Amino acid sequence: MLQIRRLVTPAFVNEMEKLCPGGVHINVNLANLSRWRIGGTADCILRPASTEQLATTIRYFNDYDVPYVVIGATSNLLFADEGLQVPCIQIGSSLSKLSIREDTVYAQAGVWVPGLARRIMQAGLTGAEHICGIPGTLGGLVYMNGGSQRKGIGSVVASIESVDARGNIHYRNTEQCEFSYRSSVYQNNTEVVTKVKLVLSPGDKARVRKNMLNILASRNKKFPRKLPSCGSVFKSNPTLYAAIGPPGAVIERMGFKGVRCGGAVVSSEHANFIVNSGGARASDVLSLVKKIQASLAESFGCKLEAEAIYVSPAGELVTLDEKIQ
C-alpha cells in the first residue's frame, strides 16, 4: 500500500490534475469545510466534474492501490482531529445537473437536496415533500436513505447509476438498492452514486408548497439552527421508541440537555443534536456520545445506534458508536 503522506507530493498532485482538471484542492481545513465545523487538515480533496472523470480517478486509485474516501456535503460526518490523510473525492456542485420531464426527475448525485425539493415543488410534483430542508447532496441522501416524516428518499427512487471501485458503471432499480430505515446497499459496497432517477406523482403545486412550508416551519421550531451540527446523532430504537419516544426524548429524559465536553454540547433545543458551540474537537463529540451510551446502558440496559459517521485519518467510515467501542 502506498503511504498517503508521501503520495500527496507535487508528482501526485500533477497526476490528479490530469484526472480532475481544476478540481484538485490541497491542504483543506476540514473545520472550515465540514458542516460540524470540526476536523484537522485534508491532504487532498478532488472534485470531479463528470462521471467519466470520477470513474478514471477511481480506476487510477484501484490500479495503484490508493485508499480514498467519498463525501458529499459532509452533513452527516465527523472528521478526525488528526485530519484526512487519504485522497477524498467530494461529490458536489461540479456534478449537479438536474432536469425534470413530466413526473420524472433526472439528477446527478451532487444536487443540493433543498434546491431539488424546491424544483420538484415548482414542477407541481408530489411524493418528495419529506426531503425539503435536509442539508446534503442527493448522493448522500441515497446512501443514508435519508428523509423525514418517517420516510426515506428510497420511496421515490426509480433507478440509480453508480461507479464501482474498478471504475465500472452500474445501474440498479429500486429493489436492488435495498432501501430500509436509514440504510441502502451503498453502505455495504464501495460504489459511488453518480445519477439518480426519481419518479413522483402529479400533484397540486399550491398544496405541495404548503406542505413543504409546514415541514420547514416545524423543522425550524424543533431543530437548533444557529450552531453547527450534523443533525440527529442517533437513530431511533424501536423498543425505546415504544417505551419513551424518539432518541431526543430519551436523551432529554436522562438529563443530557446542555451537557458539554469541550466545545461540544448536547443542544438544549433538541437533545439528539450535538452542537459545536465553538472550537469543538471530534474527541469532544465522541466523549459526549460515550457518556450518553454509558447512561443508556445503566438506565435502560440498551444502546442507541449512531446515525452520524466518523471519518478516520485513513478514510475509514464507522458510526460514532462503533468508534467509541
Ligand X SMILES: Cc1cc2nc3c(=O)[nH]c(=O)nc-3n(C[C@H](O)[C@H](O)[C@H](O)COP(=O)(O)OP(=O)(O)OC[C@H]3O[C@@H](n4cnc5c(N)ncnc54)[C@H](O)[C@@H]3O)c2cc1C
Q: Tell whether residue 317 is a contact of ligand X (CB under 6 A).
A: yes
Q: Tell whether residue 35 is a contact of ligand X (CB under 6 A).
A: yes
Non-local (6+) Cβ contacts of 14 within 8 A are none
Reply yes or no on whether 182 is catalytic: yes
Interface with ligand X by CB under 6 A: which range of 16-24, 169-177, 229-237, 264-272?
229-237
Q: Tell whether residue 116 is a contact of ligand X (CB under 6 A).
A: no
Non-local (6+) Cβ contacts of 39 within 8 A are 29, 30, 31, 33, 78, 79, 80, 81, 83, 84, 282, 311
Q: Is residue 282 a contact partner of residue 80, using CB atoms and an 8 Å limit?
A: yes
Q: At its nearest, how many Å lie between ligand X and the CB of residue 157?
A: 13
Reply yes or no on whether 307 is catalytic: yes
Reply yes or no on whether 5 is catalytic: no
Non-local (6+) Cβ contacts of 116 within 8 A are 98, 105, 107, 128, 131, 138
Q: Which of 164, 162, 163 is nearest to 173 (CA)?
A: 162
Report the distance separating Cα 121 and Cα 62, nearest Å: 41
List 33, 38, 105, 193, residue binding ligand X (CB under 6 A): 193
Q: Is residue 264 a contact partner of residue 288, using CB atoms and an 8 Å limit?
A: yes
**Exactly one of 94, 162, 229, 232 is catalytic; which is it?**
232
List 39, 87, 140, 246, residue binding ligand X (CB under 6 A): 140
Q: Which is nearer to ligand X, 73 or 324 (CB)?
A: 73
H-helix or E-strand spanning residue 260: strand 260-261
CA 238 to chain centre: 23
Q: Tell whether residue 186 is a contact of ligand X (CB under 6 A).
A: yes
List 141, 177, 285, 289, residue binding ligand X (CB under 6 A): 141
Fill in the per-residue mask, 230 to 259: x = in contact with ligand X (CB under 6 A), - = not in contact.
xx----------------------------
Fill in the per-residue mask, 282 to 301: x = in contact with ligand X (CB under 6 A), - = not in contact.
--------------------
Fill in the per-residue mask, 55 to 84: x = in contact with ligand X (CB under 6 A), - = not in contact.
---------------xxxxxxxx-------
CB atoms within 10 A of CB 277: 16
Beta strands 24-29 and 41-46 are: antiparallel
Q: At its nearest, how many Å lie between ligand X and the CB of residue 317?
A: 5
Q: At its nearest, how many Å lie between ligand X and the CB of residue 143?
A: 4
Catalytic positions: 182, 232, 307
Contacting positions for ligand X (CB under 6 A): 35, 70-77, 91, 109, 134-137, 139-141, 143-144, 146-148, 186, 192-193, 223, 229-231, 309, 317
